[in-house]
Amino acid sequence: MTSSHKISSALISVFDKEGLAPIVQELNKQGVIIYSTGGTEKFIRDLGIEVIAVEDITSYPSILGGRVKTLHPKVFGGILNRQNVDSDQAELLEYEIPQLDLVIVDLYPFEKTVASGASDQDIIEKIDIGGISLIRAAAKNFADVLCVSDKNDYAEVLDVLIASNGAPSLEDRKRFATKAFQISSHYDSAIFSYFNQDTNASDALKLSVNEAKSLRYGENPHQAGQFFGPLGDLLNQVHGKEISYNNLLDIDAAVNLMLEFYSEKPTFAILKHNNACGFATRDTLVKAYEDALAGDPVSAFGGVLICNKKIDLATAEKINSLFCEVVIAPSYAREALALLKSKKNRVLLIQKETELAGKTIRTCLNGYLVQDRDHITDSEEMLSVVTKKEPSKEEVSDLIFASKICKHTKSNTIVLVKNGQLLASGTGQTSRVDALRQAIDKAKNFGFSLKGAVMASDAFFPFPDCVEIADNEGVGAVIQPGGSIKDQLSVDYCDSNKMSMVFTGIRHFKH
């Protein structure tokens, strides 16, 4: 194994030829013998550079419609031979195998083909065989071979070739080999995911994400943090400081919550520590913001704001007087954006239309928990009235509104709503009674009357204590999943006290 190795010959065979010409020209300048196939061979010839067709050394043409081009001992022997092993070098001479010191190969665009909606047959044909084999072989033998597998590295490769005069160091070769194995493993994971997409359960979890963003730190300053994923596909940051780990958690909670209301009237939400502390739907966005803020103006400080309509100047003027970390909207009026940019650190995001992942993944003990996303949104059609008194039309609207918020609030939770406004919620409590008392105290603290309000619970009531407490505060209607063996106790209390209650049949725990 040598620290540097002069490149005397190269195999180049790529699907995407953008940016390749300068490397080919530099290799030719350095006197490197170039071997190639098909379209790449023609590309090199069109540059006026001499190139040897791979079939001239294998004595086999490209066959089976291009499925087999480079799968031959005279190619792989040239890549995999150990240049410091005499017996390997003797076999190269015996079988007339050319030495290959540089391999530049990319892969068929499998993921792009899948994303395009192509037919199964077209997708199958984009499963690369020769390319992936060449990459693995060259990367394995990084001791003697430089493997280039990503066109995004071409500029760096050219710099290395020029700086080293065609003799890249062992450190360079190993670095590019590492990248090659990352590309090959990601490629195989994408293929597995395609074949596994119709399977409800799998005995294997394969997750490969190329896009990585380093964060200032993790949840706390002493923790390192990164985000993996194409964040730009969902959010466009138009202003502000770098998004933090905790910002991202709040943004995730905000986006998922607002998706429940995206087609509704103007709606505004304010979140803190992944839970909504303010929420309102109104005829105008500025009024929705004002009423969301009124729900908890204390917690709103340093919060994350999100809405479902374009932010106009009137709304921006109200927002600008609040210290908030992040504002998310589908768009901004020009004057509104200019005003909100007056606070240099305030993060302003434009949310794009994109589909979120269908499953959630989190670490657990020495492994991972994977589940389907909670894709069920409670609707009027799902409601089953279980009390003698039916909720009014206005109460039904509030019950659905409260249930949607409840779904996105940490368990145990109780949500109190009136007239399309979140009055208060109890979040993350070990007792449902504690969650209710927390919500009641909070609502009263900010001057709200609970008379005529509705209550939502993320899970069933095992006892009638919560409906009794709510009734004593003036709550008139309740929405809950039902499912307790003691459901009737709560129903009986409601019937005795002229309250209405509906069951959804769907629990919405959130831990």
- Number of other residues whose CB lies within 10 A of the CB of residue 97: 21
Structure tokens belonging to residue 355:
């589909």
For 391, phi then psi, to 5°, come to -70, 150
Gap between the Cα atoms of 101 and 84, Å rounded: 13
Structure tokens belonging to residue 496:
């005795």
Structure tokens belonging to residue 128:
């690369």
Buried b (16+ CB within 10 A) or exposed e, 239-268: bbeebbbbbbebbebbbebbebbeeeebbb
Nearest of 237, 235, 224, 229 to residue 213 by alpha carbon: 229
Structure tokens belonging to residue 401:
């509104």
Distances in Å between the Cα of 486 and the Cα atoms of 143, 270, 389 are: 71, 36, 20
Nearest of 262, 309, 304 to residue 286 by alpha carbon: 309
Question: How far from the centroid of its chain's Cα atoms is residue 434's Cα?
Answer: 34
Please tell me which residue in 174, 186, 213, 273 is annotated as part of the active site: 273
Based on the residue annotation, tell me whether 273 is a catalytic residue of this protein. yes
Structure tokens belonging to residue 37:
């196939």
DSSP code per residue over 135-168: HHHHHHTTTT-EEE--GGGHHHHHHHHHHTTS--
The DSSP H or E segment spanning 17 is none
The DSSP H or E segment spanning 439 is helix 432-445
Question: Based on the number of CB atoms within 10 Å of its own CB, is 208 exposed (0-12), middle (13-18) or buried (19 or more)?
Answer: middle
Helix (H, G, I), strand (E, B) or coil at 11: strand
For 216, phi then psi, to 5°, come to -55, -40
Please tell me which residue in 17, 140, 186, 287 is annotated as part of the active site: 140
Helix (H, G, I), strand (E, B) or coil at 296: coil
Gap between the Cα atoms of 269 and 253, Å rounded: 11
Assign residue 128 a region: left if phi > 0, alpha if psi is -120 to 50, beta otherwise? beta
First-to-last CA distance in the chain?
Answer: 53
Length of the chain, in residues: 511
Distances in Å between the Cα of 24 and the Cα atoms of 30, 87, 243, 467 are: 10, 32, 41, 77
Structure tokens belonging to residue 394:
């206005």
Q: Which residues does the annotation mark as catalytic?
A: 140, 273
